[in-house]
Amino acid sequence: MSLDQDTTLPLDHLVSTMEARLDAWRVLNAANRAWAATGAATGDETAKQAVEHQLRCLSSLEEFYAFPGRQFMGSLAELVAEGDAAAAARLSARLSAALLSKSYHNNPGEWDSDESSLDNADRLPPALNGNGGDKHRPYFEVLVVTPTPQTKWTEVSREMRRLRRPQDPFVYELVIVGSFEDAALGAILNPAIEAVVVFDGFHFASQHDVPLLHRFLEAHVPPGVADLTSEAMTPALVRMLKNLRPELDIYLLSDRKVEEMAANPELACVRRVFYEVEEPLEIHLSILDGINDRYETPYFDNLKKYSQRPMGTFHALPVARGKSIFKSNWIRDMGEFYGLNLFLAESSATTGGLDSLLEPTGNIKTAQDKAARAFGADHAFFVTNGTSTSNKIVEQALLHPGDIVLVDRNCHKSHHYGMVLAGARPVYLEAYPMMEYSMYGGVPLRTIKKAMLDLKAEGKLDRVRMLLLTNCTFDGHVYNTRQVMEECLAIKPDLIFLWDEAWFGFARFSPFFRQRTAMGAATLIKRAMAGSDYRSALEAQHREVGVDLDPADARLLDRRLVPDPDRMRVRVYQTNSTHKSMSALRQGSMILVCDQDFHHVEEAFHEAIFTHTSTSPNLQIIASLDIARRQMELEGYEMVMKATQLALIIRSEVNRHPLVSKYFRVLDLGDMVPAEFRRTGMESLTGTDWTKAIESIWNDEFVLDPTRLTLVCGSAGFDGTEFKGMLAEKYDIQINKTSRNSILLQTNINNTRSDVAHLMKVLVDIATGIEERLAAGGEPAVAAFRGRVAGLMKDVPDMPNFSRFHDHFREDTGSATSEGDIRSAFYLAYDEGSCEHVKLNSREIDRRLKSGPELVSASFVIPYPPGFPIMVPGQVITTETIEFMRKLDVKEIHGYQASRGLKLLTPKALAVQPVMRIEVA
Ligand SMILES: *Cc1c(COP(=O)(O)O)cnc(C)c1O
């Protein structure tokens, strides 16, 4: 069977397969209905042909799903062939309804022959409909890759089904394929696949012709796999599947020496190797066990048990067990609102099976280990105070006073405070600006390399400890994490990386973006380090630019630098706000560690946890982190792909809608990332050229996280804050952040197609309103509107760069590098006598800007939006900063009170000779 060339089925659109599948069913239903309504009666063959065509397309796609499966697809084809239009229409409508509602999960296996089984599945509530049991059993599918001839596949499925036992905690169906390529397609297309069973002896080529798949496979498969013997192909298949979806359990069945296979390091990620004649029941039990390993949430499971035990509490925390609430005269509604379990699950005990977050040895430890596995890290640490705290923990643990940190000036405020606490010296790096939207992109790699080479030239490279960047940025810019780290390690082999992935934790579960996460890149770098790639590239580099990189050599900035595998250390940290992109309660955050030298810092790391962690961490947050991990390991792939897909739909709907696009636009890759950072020339996220998209994701310096959508509203005459307020008050749409002329929308694993529809309806509504107002107001209204739009879109204040630290906070004032002692500046401001306030619009400001003494900020000043500090303690304030502040029309400015004015360090305080405050480690 092969796909027709003219098929409308976008198998090529790997990201949108789920929606595409449902769409294809909708098309089939429509064709069937049309045929049943008119065609069949009039003998019109074209209506029937349309059905046949669509059915053919769909059938090849459906090979990768257990339901409706061969039987139903066969019945449908038969009805069509027999010309029974009404029955075909009825069956296809019921099948697609079952797909949509996933009702077939409830009695798997019973639907493979009998149409009436669909009735049962539709009618019974899921909880009552498990195979004989009365408990909902999660359903999944298992991919089987086998040389067994296709004619026997149905029997294989039946045989596995016979092994089901009432006490099985889960239930599954098989999807059987015969080739390497079809295995890849199955893993990509079918998110319900949770495990793969590979029988030795399958062949390579798919029967389907999918160009993108080949492109995709090229990157995940060593060349020449197609020509390998079938036995040698197995390790390549395993690696490819793990690259696509690392969470999948993989089992091997072989009649070769299984002991040898089990010992093969290439197959280390296989969960179990079986000798082919072994009991099928063993395989069945192993599959269930593998799922259970992901399903188990050690902390949450135990908390549930704990809450059900009768317990007299004599510790603090009166709400535990809820008696002070449910018996209260006045606060009983709290209990009614939150429900009893919340209080039963509250405790301040760390015994009785409740582990301690501060010193985990039991189920919190196990839960963290599972999280490390799920997110591809060596270690994971749960944090219950948000990533604000995670960042401070990492910074305190790794930075000595006096260490230099290269840091994006626009990073989250927790980092600036983290550096104050640690006594680190920030070298602020400038991201590229997007002036017309009052926002910043990412920090170009060239800028980072330049800063490092400058520090090397000044003899300070030894003191550079860390590079700290936000990935992705608030607005969705995603770094090429691998390239950034490799090139930095070429300059300084032991540099530590902290990637703040507050928003990007979910990306682990996207096969497109995983490699651009901190942990994904760290894994790739470790793999490359073990191979020979670096070594040969390094030799070329030595020949060309020498062994010891000369900071004066301008070629280094443009050359891709290669690290030395014998000297480099992989030391990567990631923090993520699990609550921002996954199903964790607010403040649920994680620290992920992939550090070859972690043992050297482990003690300091624990001290830092003690410093920043409450001794009463919230149990529900810990449990939710455990649960978020379970969900992502079992359905993260599906959810993330869906969120991505919805984002792409919004992007194209808004930008193509004839009315909406007159006033609104979602910024595309080409708007957000200047051409110099897009070597592949990829311009748009909604173009159909996915081959190029994948190339861009692999190679370009910056790409865009599609789920973060910057919607320009200035062109509709609204400033960001105003538009945000309007969406919330009038339309019940909550959005993320705003800029002067845009708002940031975000899709996540919680969104559905109806949310998209609602959003579009609202935009149509607003656009219609504008049109009506302009029509009613005539010329003057149009002119006023144009003026307002021009003001918002063109008259945008220039954003000031970081100026410099005042000499008082610099150790060597002649230095060409910009690091400063932010901590001393911060604490100098604690002395009231060292501070003064000067009104923003006063003459004094202008006079001092012109003829001194210099204005030096005593505090952080952070306007929202844009949300980055335009002043940090000890920073010299320049004309650009003052102009920006004077033009700024936002109400929320942290660290600045208009009535008192700017808080400055007095010239007198700055004239005192600084004592060398902090020893350099
Ligand atoms: C939100 C955010 C943080 C802080 O995380 P919380 O979980 O809110 O404490 C840190 N960094 C970035 C980039 C963020 O967006």
- In order of their start, the domains of the chain are 1-124 (no CATH), 126-295 (3.40.50.2300), 378-630 (3.40.640.10), 635-793 (3.90.1150.10), 807-911 (3.90.100.10)
Cβ atoms of 350 and 356 closer than 8 Å? yes
Distance from the alpha carbon of residue 384 to the mean position of ligand 1, in angstroms: 13
Instruction: Write out the two tokens for 563.
Output: 């690290």
Distance from the alpha carbon of residue 626 to the mean position of ligand 1, in angstroms: 20
Say yes or no: CB of residue 574 within 6 Å of ligand 1: no
Distance from the alpha carbon of residue 470 to the mean position of ligand 1, in angstroms: 10
Angle at 127 between CA 121 and CA 131, to 5 degrees: 60
Say yes or no: CB of residue 578 within 6 Å of ligand 1: no
Say yes or no: CB of residue 746 within 6 Å of ligand 1: no
**pLDDT, position 636:** 96
Query: What is the residue with the minimal CA distance to atom 1 of ligand 1?
Result: 502
Atom of ligand 1 nearest to the CA of 501: 13
**pLDDT, position 477:** 97
Distance from the alpha carbon of residue 795 to the mean position of ligand 1, in angstroms: 30
Cβ atoms of 400 and 335 closer than 8 Å? no
Task: Give the CA-trace dihedral at 259, 265, 266, 270, to 10 degrees.
Answer: 60
Instruction: Write out the two tokens for 267.
Output: 């197959």
Instruction: Give the span between the Cα atoms of 51 and 644, in whole angstroms.
Output: 31
Atom of ligand 1 nearest to the CA of 588: 7
Distance from the alpha carbon of residue 385 to the mean position of ligand 1, in angstroms: 10
**8-state DSSP, 901:** B
Query: What is the residue with the minimal CA distance to atom 5 of ligand 1?
Result: 387
- Phi, psi at residue 197, to the nearest 5°? -110, 120
Instruction: Give the span between the Cα atoms of 118 and 76, in whole angstroms.
Output: 14
- Phi, psi at residue 531, to the nearest 5°? -90, -160
**pLDDT, position 105:** 86
Atom of ligand 1 nearest to the CA of 391: 10
Say yes or no: CB of residue 414 within 6 Å of ligand 1: yes
Distance from the alpha carbon of residue 412 to the mean position of ligand 1, in angstroms: 7
**pLDDT, position 16:** 66
Instruction: Write out the two tokens for 865.
Output: 């939006």
**pLDDT, position 314:** 60
Q: Strands 464-470 and 404-408, how do they pair?
A: parallel
Give the DSSP H or E segment for 879.
helix 879-887
Query: What is the residue with the minimal CA distance to atom 8 of ligand 1?
Result: 386
Angle at 779 between CA 773 and CA 782, to 5 degrees: 50
Say yes or no: CB of residue 502 within 6 Å of ligand 1: yes
Distance from the alpha carbon of residue 388 to the mean position of ligand 1, in angstroms: 6
pTM value is 0.93
- The count of other CB atoms within 10 Å of the CB of residue 13 is 15
Say if residue 203 is exposed, middle or buried (CB neighbours under 10 Å; 0-12, 13-18, 19+): middle
Contact partners, residue 623, CB within 8 Å, separation at least 6: 297, 299, 300, 303, 345
Distance from the alpha carbon of residue 578 to the mean position of ligand 1, in angstroms: 10
Instruction: Give the span between the Cα atoms of 15 and 648, in whole angstroms.
Output: 10
Distance from the alpha carbon of residue 25 to the mean position of ligand 1, in angstroms: 41
Query: What is the residue with the minimal CA distance to atom 7 of ligand 1?
Result: 386
Q: Strands 665-666 and 439-440, how do they pair?
A: unpaired
Say yes or no: CB of residue 388 within 6 Å of ligand 1: yes
CA-based nearest residue to 409, from 906, 740, 825, 861: 861
Q: Where are the beta strands (DSSP E) in 621-707?
A: 665-666, 702-704
CA-based nearest residue to 528, from 598, 904, 520: 520
**pLDDT, position 501:** 98
Say yes or no: CB of residue 577 within 6 Å of ligand 1: yes
> Chain-centre distance of CA 612, in angstroms?
26
Say yes or no: CB of residue 322 within 6 Å of ligand 1: no
**pLDDT, position 813:** 77
Say yes or no: CB of residue 408 within 6 Å of ligand 1: no
Query: What is the residue with the minimal CA distance to atom 2 of ligand 1?
Result: 502
Ligand 1 site-directed mutation target among 577, 586, 705, most atoms within 8 Å of CB: 577
Angle at 64 between CA 63 and CA 66, to 5 degrees: 85
Instruction: Give the span between the Cα atoms of 898 and 41, in whole angstroms.
Output: 79
> Chain-centre distance of CA 110, in angstroms?
38
Say if residue 692 is exposed, middle or buried (CB neighbours under 10 Å; 0-12, 13-18, 19+): middle
Task: Give the CA-trace dihedral at 809, 812, 813, 818, to 10 degrees.
Answer: -70
Ligand 1 site-directed mutation target among 412, 440, 578, 579, most atoms within 8 Å of CB: 412
Which residue stretches of the chain have pLDDT < 50? 1-12, 121-133, 918-921
Q: For the chain, how long is the longest CA-to-CA vector?
A: 99
In 66-112, alpha helices (H): 69-82, 85-101
Instruction: Give the span between the Cα atoms of 238 and 595, in whole angstroms.
Output: 26
Instruction: Write out the two tokens for 117.
Output: 């089984």
Atom of ligand 1 nearest to the CA of 503: 15
Question: How many residues are listed for the chain in this entry?
Answer: 921
**pLDDT, position 799:** 86
Instruction: Write out the two tokens for 919.
Output: 């020893």
Distance from the alpha carbon of residue 406 to the mean position of ligand 1, in angstroms: 19
